[in-house]
């Protein structure tokens, strides 16, 4: 009896062990190893990502700048591939069999169970042919997409472009999958999360030939795509187009701002390019061509490039000196050419006249008064204290910071302070004689066109500014926050009036250096600048605002290697101001001279002071 009992328990034990083994195997197959489930699902179901339409982009007047157009991606689930006529597909796509195998291998390396991009951005004509033959290509299906359409062909550096996500983005943002697109530059990149929308999913039942039969579970597991948000820019597309027209065959930039709001009216970088070049399958080829093109058109010179500001910086020096009380509005200094070079002009009797004549020796003495104040017996210690006080005032004018305007790549520039020169020469081993060139806008100063236009806005407003920005509204909702808050500088309004008077004289009185910016019916206030360039001809600079009493526009124009600011930059500023305020140009001869000038050729550069 005991033997029978032992045998019974042994059989029961064996059965239990078998059940446990079977249960573990089933658990492994159904829970741990999902490859069979995925394979089964892929054989009967297809999950198709529904890509949202990307947000549209308009200019300040409602002109459509960026829209969408239909495109198609050919997707592959490698596990579902069966033998078929690959030559037929190669013929449909216009590729050879070697290229086909490379694409297939890339998809297999990503996943044999999940769909991945086999061929992107199929043209409408290719899609028409391919659609008729899709039933012959098991494992393949077409994914609807959209491509950007840059309708006006302008403002490439503002708008930016859209390209395929890179590996770093895939790792950092779970929203994206391989083959997705995202903004790569400009507002397309900065406002990516607003523009991209939210992807949806549709689940379909497919037959053995991978043809869609019906919606799976009546769409129970489908999710809707949410379209991207539309952007309304501050840019005036007509003014932007005109600025790009004037800047052809020139290297430099134009930035114009509405002082009352901080809205950027135009942001031109030259040479530029048609943003449509960076759309579609030719994007990579065109991108490489632009990188290697003369003049480096991909560089946004308006915000990324920095230069010594030249005589334009005398406006800032005047404000600091007046505010610090080291001079009065009527302080005079001799135009001593033995100290620093200058051009011939009447005596600079006061700050306004010094601005009008752009007197270099005058600002040598003004800057010396700022730096050597006699607070320490040692000229080295005294200069360090003076320069520190000077810099604190200067940076309140919007310099030495990257202004957050709504695109990436904004350069902060450089306002050197005591620490800068300590690193360069050693502590207490430099003095005013080392840094005096800062007083005439040279030396180690580096400032962008954007910063100079914003500085001109501050002067136009007599002491404050709104953060310069490129986007007015998102889905018609005005953008608020830092863009709608006044930023006050560390200067009294009365000192701005003195500087404004000098800028008025620069353009509208005899011996003013900016008379090329003068118009008959608009009171323009401006300042010329000629920045020394160690690598070639000097840069031509002009800043201005208009009208004098109720400013509508503040502008900065930089032309690289073009010489004196009054010869080229000033008339360009005048034309832009007239175009914006009056809508037309009063002197077509000036326009003709600017448009026909090729300032990329050094033989054509005028350089005078």
Q: Would you state the pLDDT for residue 154?
A: 97
Q: d(Cα 295, Cα 271) in Å, to the nearest integer?
A: 6
Residue 482 vs residues 165, 260, 411, 413: alpha-carbon distances, Å = 30, 14, 19, 21
Q: Would you state the pLDDT for residue 600?
A: 85
pLDDT digits (tens, 9 = 90+) for 211-243: 666 677 766 778 888 999 999 999 999 999 999
Instruction: Read off the pLDDT of each residue in 269-277 and give the average, rounded to a whole number.
Output: 96
Provide the strand spans (E) within 259-408: 263-270
In the chain, the percentage of residues whose pLDDT exceeds 70 is 90
Q: Measuring CA to CA, which residue among 327, 261, 311, 340 is closest to residue 440?
A: 311
Q: Would you state the pLDDT for residue 323?
A: 97
Instruction: Read off the pLDDT of each residue in 436-459 and give the average, rounded to a whole number.
Output: 96
DSSP state of 52: P
Q: Would you state the pLDDT for residue 145?
A: 83
Do 237-288+300-604 and 46-232 fall under one CATH topology?
A: no
Instruction: Read off the pLDDT of each residue in 28-57 and give the average, rounded to a whole number.
Output: 67
What are the structural domain ranges in the chain?
Answer: 46-232, 237-288+300-604
Q: What are phi and psi of 474, to 5 degrees?
A: -120, 120
Helix, coil or strand: residue 501 = helix
Asked if 594 contacts 585 with a C-beta cutoff of 8 angstroms, the reply is no
117 vs 11, higher pLDDT: 117
Tokens 């997409």, residue located: 145
In the chain, the percentage of residues whose pLDDT exceeds 90 is 68
Q: d(Cα 105, Cα 101) in Å, to the nearest integer?
A: 6
133 vs 454, higher pLDDT: 454
Q: Would you state the pLDDT for residue 453?
A: 98
Q: Is the model's pLDDT at 262 over the cut of 50?
A: yes
Q: Is the model's pLDDT at 606 over the cut of 50?
A: no
Binned at pLDDT 50, 70 and 90, residue 604 comes out as very low
Q: d(Cα 597, Cα 605) in Å, to the nearest integer?
A: 9
Q: Would you state the pLDDT for residue 120?
A: 86
Instruction: Read off the pLDDT of each residue in 112-123 and give the average, rounded to a whole number.
Output: 85
Q: What are phi and psi of 583, to 5 degrees?
A: 80, 0
Q: d(Cα 319, Cα 499) in Å, to the nearest integer?
A: 7
Q: What are phi and psi of 136, to 5 degrees?
A: -90, -5
pLDDT digits (tens, 9 = 90+) for 563-583: 877 899 999 999 999 999 999
Q: Is the model's pLDDT at 37 over the cut of 60?
A: no
Q: d(Cα 492, Cα 416) in Å, to the nearest integer?
A: 24
In 3-state terms, the chain is what percent helix, strand and coil (to 5)? 40, 20, 40
Pick the CATH number of 46-232 from 3.90.1310.10, 3.40.640.10, 3.30.1490.100, 3.40.50.300: 3.90.1310.10
Asked if 541 contacts 528 with a C-beta cutoff of 8 angstroms, the reply is yes
Burial of 23 (0-12, 13-18, 19+ CB in 10 A): exposed
pLDDT digits (tens, 9 = 90+) for 141-174: 888 888 899 988 999 999 999 998 998 998 899 9
pTM for this model (two decimals) = 0.87
Q: Would you state the pLDDT for residue 608?
A: 34
CA dihedral for 507, 510, 513, 519, sign (positive or negative): positive
Q: d(Cα 569, Cα 78) in Å, to the nearest integer?
A: 60
| Cβ atoms < 10 Å from Cβ of 99 | 13
pLDDT digits (tens, 9 = 90+) for 358-399: 999 999 999 999 999 999 999 999 999 999 999 999 999 999
Burial of 172 (0-12, 13-18, 19+ CB in 10 A): exposed
DSSP state of 362: H
Asked if 348 contacts 357 with a C-beta cutoff of 8 angstroms, the reply is yes
Q: Would you state the pLDDT for residue 144?
A: 83
- Lowest mean per-residue pLDDT among 11-15, 427-431, 517-521: 11-15
Residue 105 vs residues 168, 178, 181: alpha-carbon distances, Å = 22, 15, 22
Mean pLDDT for the chain overall? 89
Instruction: Read off the pLDDT of each residue in 252-272 and give the average, rounded to a whole number.
Output: 98
Q: Would you state the pLDDT for residue 36?
A: 46
Q: Is the model's pLDDT at 419 over the cut of 70?
A: yes
CA atoms within 13 A on the CB side of 33: 7
Q: Would you state the pLDDT for residue 112?
A: 87
CATH superfamily of domain region 237-288+300-604: DD-peptidase/beta-lactamase superfamily (3.40.710.10)
């Amino acid at each position: 009896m005991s033997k029978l009992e032992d045998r019974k328990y042994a059989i029961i034990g064996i059965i239990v062990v078998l059940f446990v083994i079977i249960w573990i195997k089933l658990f492994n197959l159904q829970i741990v190893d999902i490859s069979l489930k995925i394979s089964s699902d892929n054989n009967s179901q297809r999950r198709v990502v529904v890509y949202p339409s990307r947000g549209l982009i308009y200019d300040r007047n409602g002109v459509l700048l960026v829209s969408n157009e239909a495109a198609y991606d050919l997707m592959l689930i490698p596990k579902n591939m069966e033998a078929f006529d690959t030559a037929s597909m190669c013929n449909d796509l216009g590729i050879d069999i070697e290229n086909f195998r490379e694409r297939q291998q890339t998809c297999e390396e990503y996943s044999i169970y999940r769909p991945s991009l086999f061929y992107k951005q199929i043209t409408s004509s290719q899609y028409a042919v391919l659609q008729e033959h899709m039933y012959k290509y098991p494992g393949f299906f077409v994914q609807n997409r959209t491509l950007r359409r840059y309708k006006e062909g302008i403002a490439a550096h503002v708008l930016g472009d859209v390209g395929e996500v890179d590996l770093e983005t895939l790792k950092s943002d779970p929203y994206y999958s391989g083959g997705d697109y995202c903004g790569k530059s400009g507002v397309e990149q900065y406002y990516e999360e607003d523009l991209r929308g939210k992807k949806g999913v549709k689940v379909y039942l497919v037959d053995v030939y991978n043809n869609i039969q019906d919606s799976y579970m009546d769409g129970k597991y489908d999710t809707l795509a949410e379209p991207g948000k539309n952007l309304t820019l501050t840019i005036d597309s007509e003014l932007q187009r005109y600025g790009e027209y004037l800047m052809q065959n020139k290297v430099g930039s134009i930035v114009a701002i509405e002082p009352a709001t901080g809205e950027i009216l135009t942001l031109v970088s030259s040479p530029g390019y048609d943003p449509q070049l960076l759309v579609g399958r030719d994007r990579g080829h065109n991108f490489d061509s632009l990188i290697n093109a003369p003049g480096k058109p991909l560089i946004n010179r308006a915000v990324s490039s920095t230069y010594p500001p030249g005589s334009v910086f005398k406006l800032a020096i005047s404000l600091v000196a007046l505010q610090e009380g080291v001079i009065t509005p009527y302080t005079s200094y001799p135009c001593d050419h033995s100290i620093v070079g200058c051009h011939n002009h009447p005596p600079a009797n006061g700050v306004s006249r010094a601005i009008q004549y752009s007197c270099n020796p005058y600002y040598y003495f003004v800057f010396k008064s700022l730096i050597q104040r006699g607070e320490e017996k040692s000229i080295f210690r005294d200069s360090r204290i003076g320069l520190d006080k000077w810099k604190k005032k200067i940076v309140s004018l919007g310099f030495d910071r990257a202004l957050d305007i709504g695109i990436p790549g904004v350069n902060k520039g450089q306002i050197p302070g005591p620490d800068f020169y300590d690193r360069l020469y050693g502590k207490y081993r430099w003095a005013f004689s080392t840094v005096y060139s800062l007083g005439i806008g040279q030396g180690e100063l580096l400032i962008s066109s954007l910063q100079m236009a914003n500085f001109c806005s501050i002067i136009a407003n007599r002491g404050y500014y709104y953060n310069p920005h490129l986007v007015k509204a998102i889905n018609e909702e005005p953008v608020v926050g830092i863009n709608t808050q006044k930023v006050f500088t560390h200067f009294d309004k009365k000192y701005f009036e003195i500087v404004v008077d000098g800028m008025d004289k620069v353009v509208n009185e005899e011996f003013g250096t900016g008379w090329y910016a003068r118009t008959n019916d608009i009171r323009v206030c401006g300042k010329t600048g000629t920045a020394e360039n160690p690598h070639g001809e000097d840069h031509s600079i002009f800043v201005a605002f208009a009208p004098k009493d109720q400013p509508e526009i503040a502008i900065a124009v930089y032309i690289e290697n073009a010489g004196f600011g009054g010869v080229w930059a000033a008339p360009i500023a005048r034309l832009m101001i007239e175009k914006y305020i009056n809508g037309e140009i009063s002197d077509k001869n000036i326009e003709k001279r600017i448009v026909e000038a090729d300032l990329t050729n050094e033989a054509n550069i005028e350089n005078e002071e």
